Chain A
Amino acid sequence: AQSVTQPDIHITVSEGASLELRCNYSYGATPYLFWYVQSPGQGLQLLLKYFSGDTLVQGIKGFEAEFKRSQSSFNLRKPSVHWSDAAEYFCAVGGVYNQGGKLIFGQGTELSVKP
């Protein structure tokens, strides 16, 4: 079955520290992978996406993610966290064009930032 797992429900890091949010997926074909961020009471904003090519993708706000096919992972990283990064982060996987394109989301990781 297709699924996305974000093992960490809640993570707290100090401002200025590095961050890694984990994402593992189960998908029958080469997936399209996404990371979204959701601030309280808001919609989702796309941070970055992987379709093909270079497995290290750069996104907005200083985020990057690395696709590792052998580990079925797409972990999100940021070298130095800012207080404004506190939010909920969702990893999602989607199919190729002929599968309709619906996204399967993980349960999310809530990030808190300590001053």
Chain B
Amino acid sequence: NAGVMQNPRHLVRRRGQEARLRCSPMKGHSHVYWYRQLPEEGLKFMVYLQKENIIDESGMPKERFSAEFPKEGPSILRIQQVVRGDSAAYFCASSPLGGSAEAFFGQGTRLTVV
């Protein structure tokens, strides 16, 4: 049973470009969480999704950021028109249930905006 898979592991984008980060949850997991880790900081919750539904997006910046978790395929975190301040590590976690059942984390995508 493969773990949570995130790709790419490293992503470099120029200011103004779009970044797409993918997360394939563990088999059988239908709950996905995205977190952002800025340099020298802890992880901050961004969004919680179930298949085809956004459950809680209270941590998402109001502009340029969006997330989806389609019926088929991975969850996508999309950042439009990236700026230097978007440089961070983005982690995805998946869980078989909602709530605080143990969530398993992927290895993250490290986004660098140049």
Contact = CB atoms under 8 A, between A and B. Distances in A.
Interface in B37-64: 41-45, 48, 55-56, 59
Interface of B: 4, 31, 33, 35, 41-45, 48, 55-56, 59, 91, 93, 95, 97-108, 110
Nearest to B10: A41
A96 interface: yes
Between B42, B56, B91, B106, the greatest number of chain A beta carbons within 10 A of the residue's beta carbon is seen for B42
A115 B59 CA distance: 41
Contacts of A49: 102
Q: What are the 10 tightest A-B residue pairs by CB atom distance, in nearest-first order?
A: A97-B99, A94-B100, A32-B100, A105-B42, A43-B107, A101-B99, A44-B105, A102-B45, A107-B42, A105-B43
Given A42-B107, A44-B91, A94-B100, A102 B56 contact: yes
Contacts, number: 72
Interface in A57-115: 90, 92, 94-108
Contacts of B95: 101
Contacts of B33: 101-103
Interface of A: 4, 32, 36, 41-46, 49, 51, 90, 92, 94-108
B3 to A, nearest CB: 9
A32 B97 CA distance: 15
Contacts of A41: 110
6 contacts: A44-B105, A97-B98, A97-B101, A98-B99, A101-B48, A102-B59
Contact of B43 (A32, A90, A98, A101): A90
Nearest to B58: A102
Given A43-B91, A44-B105, A100 B41 contact: no
B41 A95 contact: no
Between A98, A101, A103, A104, the greatest number of chain B beta carbons within 10 A of the residue's beta carbon is seen for A101
